[in-house]
Amino acid sequence: MAVEVILPRVDMDMATGKISKWHHKDGDRVAKGAALFEIETDKAAMEIDAPAGGILRNIVVTEGNSAPVGSAVAWIYAEGEAVAAPAPAAAPVASAAAATTTTTPAPVTAAPAAATNGEAPRATPLARRLARQAGLPIGSIPGSGPRGRITAADVRRAGEAKPASVPALPPAPVVSGDSVQKLYAPGSFDVIPVDGMRRTIAARLTESKQTVPHFYLSVTCTLTTLMATRERLNASAPKGADGRPLWKLSINDFIIKAMAAALHKVPAANVTWAGDSILQHRSSDVGVAVAVDGGLFTPVIRNADAKTLTTISAEMKELAAKARARKLVPSEYQGGTTAISNLGMYGIEQFTAIINPPQATILAVGAAVERFVPVNGQPVLASQMTCTLSCDHRAVDGAVGAELLQAFRQLIVEPLLMLA
């Protein structure tokens, strides 16, 4: 009997996936476990293996097209098995480019995603969080996603229908592409379609600024000792067979280690917001923003507080390379307990960063700048950087955030403390 090739879920929030490449064509013989096709999600491109060996037939979702998670995209037949007519393909998912020109669809009538066999109703993590925040029973909300899954949009619609105890603010006006384009002379701009990554970034950061009560704390760190320590460590690095050093530590490696160690010293800040609870973590998992064409990824250094600088440096180089190639897997970018955004290499001296929920903190790191500082009453030229911590006030109070930033600065100013 033919084996269905299913479009799998490769990301916690994934509802649909786009097939960016087929490694085999209709009629090819494939081996079980061989790379069959690639899925492009909002965060990565992942190879999917063949679930069985045989002849690939009836490819119903071609390259560049999307389908819901769990739907069949092709079939694999045994040698000599009669080929049946393909089942109807899942309803096509509009591309980013098409979404900018289509008219507003009619409302979808969805059935409630009722629990079955005592299980919780199907819902996205964002939908569950929004429902908790709004005080809405998740099981009472009709789901419009695949197989009745409850989405964030479903929760928002249910919240609008719920009688409010205070007058609701009017919704923000929806800006259409056409209305914006009319403000500029025809031919004076190029239209760049918004892809899945940019849509995800826009949605999550908008949600963060609207729902997370941010506050900001800044410190200036003197780097004199850190730079000297880095230079000595790099100079002492052993050489490989090719004569090149086995490691080269960056300032960012020290920043990652210092942030992780500071969280270990101030466990009250090593938390994430979980709606009806706060999770206090036992290890410091530090996400580091990596810029890529069209967006950014935040791969996570796990247990960074317990790792050496050289281990952190090697892992960061590997994760950054995978991020730029869009080859990260979910376990490499999900679940951090804090994050670091470093724009110092662009000459930015100070900025604030937006928290990535459910994390409760993010550290914005500026460039190293030479300034005169007083030492024993005399001006001395020193290299300094300004760091700004964004905190979610629901989980981290001002004094706790200040204690965390104080511990971080102490470790940057005297980096040998990280090695103790």
Which residue among the candidates 23, 24, 214, 393 is catalytic per the annotation? 393
Count Cβ atoms below 10 Å from residue 207 Cβ, excluding itself. Answer: 15
| SS3 assignment, position 146 | helix
| SS3 assignment, position 290 | strand
List the single range of 41-50, 257-266, 410-419 with lowest mean pLDDT: 41-50
* Residue that is written with structure tokens 């999917």 in the block: 48
Grade residue 1 by pLDDT with cuts at 50, 70 and 90.
confident
The reported pLDDT for the residue numbered 173 is 57
Nearest residue to 129 via CA among 276, 269, 339: 276
Distance CA 81, CA 280 (A): 56
pLDDT (tens digit per residue) in 351-388? 999 999 999 999 999 999 999 988 888 899 999 999 99
Helix, strand, coil percent values for the chain (each to nearest 5): 30, 25, 45
List the single range of 63-67, 117-121, 290-294 with lowest mean pLDDT: 117-121
Q: What is the mean pLDDT of residues 292-297?
A: 86
Mean pLDDT of the chain: 84
Nearest residue to 156 via CA among 179, 127, 184: 127
pLDDT (tens digit per residue) in 119-173? 456 777 777 778 877 778 877 788 887 767 788 888 888 877 655 444 554 555 5
Distance CA 312, CA 318 (A): 10
List the single range of 38-52, 259-273, 278-292 with lowest mean pLDDT: 38-52
Q: What is the mean pLDDT of residues 24-49?
A: 84
- Tokens in use for 59? 């490819």
Q: What is the mean pLDDT of residues 221-249?
A: 93
Give percent of the chain above pLDDT 90: 48
Question: Alpha-carbon torsion 205, 207, 210, 213, what sign?
Answer: negative
- Are the CB atoms for 297 and 290 separated by under 8 Å? yes
List the single range of 141-145, 275-279, 390-394 with lowest mean pLDDT: 141-145
Residue 12 has pLDDT above 70, yes or no: no
Domains, the chain = 3-99 (2.40.50.100), 112-162 (4.10.320.10), 211-419 (3.30.559.10)
- Are the CB atoms for 320 and 299 separated by under 8 Å? yes
Type and span of the H or E element at 390: strand 378-392
Q: Which residues of 82-94 are buried (b: 16+ CB within 10 A; e: fewer)?
A: eeeeeeebbeebe
Distance CA 324, CA 296 (A): 9
Q: What is the mean pLDDT of residues 213-235?
A: 95
Q: Is the peptide bond before 358 cis (omega within 30 degrees of 0)?
A: yes
Grade residue 391 by pLDDT with cuts at 50, 70 and 90.
very high
Distance CA 345, CA 353 (A): 16
Cβ neighbors of 381 (< 8 A, separation 6 or more) are 370, 371, 372, 373
The reported pLDDT for the residue numbered 398 is 95
Grade residue 85 by pLDDT with cuts at 50, 70 and 90.
low
The reported pLDDT for the residue numbered 111 is 41
User: For this structure, is 393 an active site residue?
Assistant: yes
Grade residue 318 by pLDDT with cuts at 50, 70 and 90.
very high
Residue 80 has pLDDT above 70, yes or no: yes
- Are the CB atoms for 190 and 177 separated by under 8 Å? no
**Strand-pair partners of 364:** 341, 388
Locate all alpha helices (DSSP H) within 220-250, ordered by sequence.
224-235
The reported pLDDT for the residue numbered 263 is 97
Residue 43 has pLDDT above 70, yes or no: no
Give percent of the chain above pLDDT 70: 85
Grade residue 106 by pLDDT with cuts at 50, 70 and 90.
very low
- Tokens in use for 190? 């190029």
Grade residue 270 by pLDDT with cuts at 50, 70 and 90.
very high
Q: What is the mean pLDDT of residues 34-61?
A: 84
Name the pTM for this structure: 0.65
Locate all alpha helices (DSSP H) within 345-417, ordered by sequence.
398-413
Distance CA 223, CA 413 (A): 6
Distance CA 229, CA 236 (A): 11
